[in-house]
């Protein structure tokens, strides 16, 4: 029988503790703190994310029920909902944002050779945002509409492994296109976006930085055709044109030529018009790149289904950002565990299994791969067999 660490303790071993301490020191997270450190806070919030806790009282009750096992899991301080609420309220959310970024860099290294469906020798990113509705009376700082509050989580995701690389949390009023000003563009990389990011002045910076963008055109798009290329209409393509913008302001914002690709989707019975500044990839690849943009939509649905980012344990902007960043770090941590242990289960299945065996003393590899541990002793029973096999 396995008599080692709990599953929670084994999971925490995948975290770079020294790098976490570096983030804490950078923002003085443990200044004048004696009993409930930032790491204690982080582990309590990770527990809440994995086991789907509903409130601070819920976290306190469940952790106190496991009091004898907490020390060996890394939680040294005493658990109190008041202490945890104050920690979420006052300790700088950037501690957990930077630590999540460290985990993201580690995960991207592990998934660098992951195949997302297209064989391309360059980085491919999807950019989008999701809106989380809030109560205006409890979150007055998160202005969205007259009688409604919300926060937006703007995300740039690496399609190799579906790992988020850039996250910006804003109130609901911030338009998606403004996030383009905060991106650090990589030369040669491909950025796939929906038409909510169609701003020609901002898109021209992609061309200036030698980056590729793929987006959809709006219905009132004004242009003139300069040339065209023949396409195979049997595979859904309709046109492949080189165009220039017609409007006075639009032509000044984007003075270079663009590529316009028309595509018909048989499954949805819809026609799509794509715009890109890339003239080297074939038209079908451009259309397929936009199709893979839906991976970021799946990522948003996954996080809202399996993590605690729709309801919050605090009402301040610091508490909200802390909880979202810790949720992102849990997602990336599970992705790291999946890759390093070579688990064939999906991330959702892994998280569901962890939620019910977190304090069990069983090998994490055994419980996630459904195989017998080599160190497990075979138990013999005194009961004799009725029949010889």
Which tens digits make up the pLDDT trace of 265-307? 888 888 999 999 999 999 999 999 999 999 999 999 999 999 9
Q: Are 183 and 166 in contact (CB under 8 A)?
A: yes
pLDDT at 2: 57
Q: What is the rounded distance in angstroms from the CA atom of residue 48 to the CA atom of residue 214?
A: 38
Q: Is residue 113 part of a domain?
A: no
| Mean predicted confidence (pLDDT) in 369-382 | 48
pLDDT band at 386 (very low <50, low <70, confident <90, very high): very low
Phi, psi of 118 (to 5 degrees): -125, 140
Instruction: Establish how many alpha carbons lie within 13 A of residue 108's alpha carbon, considering only the half-sphere containing its beta carbon.
Output: 17
pLDDT at 147: 87
pLDDT band at 221 (very low <50, low <70, confident <90, very high): confident
Q: Is residue 4 part of a domain?
A: no
Q: Is residue 66 part of a domain?
A: no
User: Token pair of 67, please?
Assistant: 């009091």
User: Token pair of 235, please?
Assistant: 């595979």
Which tens digits make up the pLDDT trace of 165-189? 999 999 999 999 999 999 999 999 9
Q: Are 37 and 75 in contact (CB under 8 A)?
A: no
pLDDT band at 380 (very low <50, low <70, confident <90, very high): very low
3-state secondary structure the chain: CCCCCCHHHHHHCCCCHHHHHHHHHHCCCCCCCCCCCHHHHHHHHHHHHHHCCCCHHHHHHHHHHCHHHHHHHCCCCCCCHHHHHHHHHHCCCHHHHHHHHHHHHHHHHHCCCCCCCCCCCCCEEEEEEEEEEECCCCCCCCEEECCEEEEEEEEEEECCCCEEEEEEEEECCCCHHHHHHHCCCCCCCEEEECHHHCCHHHHHHHHHCCCEEEEECCCCCCEEEEEECCCCHHHCEEEEEEEEECCHHHHHHCCCCEEEEEEEECCCCEEEEEEECCCCCCHHHHHHHHHCCHHHHHHHHHHHHHCCCCCCCCCCHHHHHHHHHHHHHHHHHHHHHHHHCCCCCCHHHHHHHHHHHCCCCCCHHHHHHCCCCCCCCCCCCCCCCCCCC
Q: Is residue 121 part of a domain?
A: no
Q: Which residue range is the domain that position 229 belongs to?
A: 195-291
User: How many independent structural domains does the chain possess?
Assistant: 1
pLDDT band at 126 (very low <50, low <70, confident <90, very high): very high
pLDDT at 121: 86
Between β-strands 223-228 and 190-193, what pairing exists: parallel, antiparallel or unpaired? unpaired
pLDDT band at 374 (very low <50, low <70, confident <90, very high): very low
CB-count burial class (<10 Å; 0-12, 13-18, 19+) for 127: buried
Q: Is residue 147 part of a domain?
A: no
User: Token pair of 75, please?
Assistant: 């939680």
Q: Are 282 and 261 in contact (CB under 8 A)?
A: no
Q: Is residue 39 part of a domain?
A: no
Mean per-residue pLDDT over the chain, rounded: 90
pLDDT at 271: 92
pLDDT band at 372 (very low <50, low <70, confident <90, very high): very low
Q: In the chain, pLDDT over 90 holds for what percent of residues?
A: 76
Q: Does the predicted model carry a pTM greater than 0.85? A: yes
First to last CA, the chain: 26
Q: Is residue 136 part of a domain?
A: no
On the question of pLDDT at 259 being above 90, the answer is yes
Q: What is the rounded distance in angstroms from the CA atom of residue 242 to the CA atom of residue 224?
A: 9
Q: Is residue 296 part of a domain?
A: no
On the question of pLDDT at 60 being above 50, the answer is yes
């Amino acid at each position: 029988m396995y008599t080692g660490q709990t599953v929670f303790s084994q999971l925490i071993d995948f975290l770079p503790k020294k790098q976490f301490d570096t983030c804490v020191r950078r923002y003085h997270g443990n200044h004048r703190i004696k009993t409930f450190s930032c790491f204690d806070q982080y582990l309590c919030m990770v527990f809440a994310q994995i086991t789907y806790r509903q409130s601070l009282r819920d976290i306190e009750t469940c952790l106190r029920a496991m009091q004898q096992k907490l020390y060996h899991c890394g939680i040294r301080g005493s658990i109190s909902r008041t202490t945890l609420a104050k920690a979420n309220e006052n300790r700088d959310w950037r501690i957990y944002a930077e630590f999540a970024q460290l985990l993201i860099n580690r995960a991207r290294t592990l998934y660098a050779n992951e195949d997302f469906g297209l064989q391309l020798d360059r980085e491919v990113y999807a950019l989008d945002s999701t809106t989380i509705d809030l109560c205006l009376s409890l979150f007055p700082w998160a202005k969205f509409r007259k009688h409604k509050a919300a926060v937006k989580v703007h995300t740039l995701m690496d399609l190799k492994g579906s790992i988020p690389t850039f996250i910006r949390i804003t109130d609901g009023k911030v338009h998606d296109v403004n996030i383009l000003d905060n991106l650090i563009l990589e030369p040669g990389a491909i950025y796939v976006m929906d038409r909510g990011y169609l701003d020609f002045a901002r898109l021209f910076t992609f061309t200036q930085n030698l980056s590729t963008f793929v987006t959809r055109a709006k219905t009132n798009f004004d242009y003139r055709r300069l040339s065209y290329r023949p396409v195979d209409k049997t595979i859904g393509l309709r046109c492949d044109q080189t165009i220039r913008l017609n409007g006075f302001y639009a032509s000044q914002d984007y003075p270079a030529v663009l590529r316009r690709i028309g595509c018909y989707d048989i499954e949805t019975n819809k026609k799509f018009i794509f715009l890109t500044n890339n003239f080297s990839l074939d038209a079908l690849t451009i259309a397929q790149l936009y199709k893979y943009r839906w991976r970021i939509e799946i990522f948003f649905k996954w996080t809202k289904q399996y993590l605690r980012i729709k309801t919050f344990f605090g009402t301040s902007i610091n508490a909200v950002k802390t909880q979202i960043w810790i949720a992102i770090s849990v997602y990336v941590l599970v992705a790291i565990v999946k890759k390093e242990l070579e688990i064939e289960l999906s991330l959702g299945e892994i998280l569901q299994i962890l939620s019910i065996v977190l304090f069990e003393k069983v090998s994490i590899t055994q419980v996630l791969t459904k195989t017998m541990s080599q160190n497990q002793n075979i138990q013999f029973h005194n009961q004799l067999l009725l029949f010889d096999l």
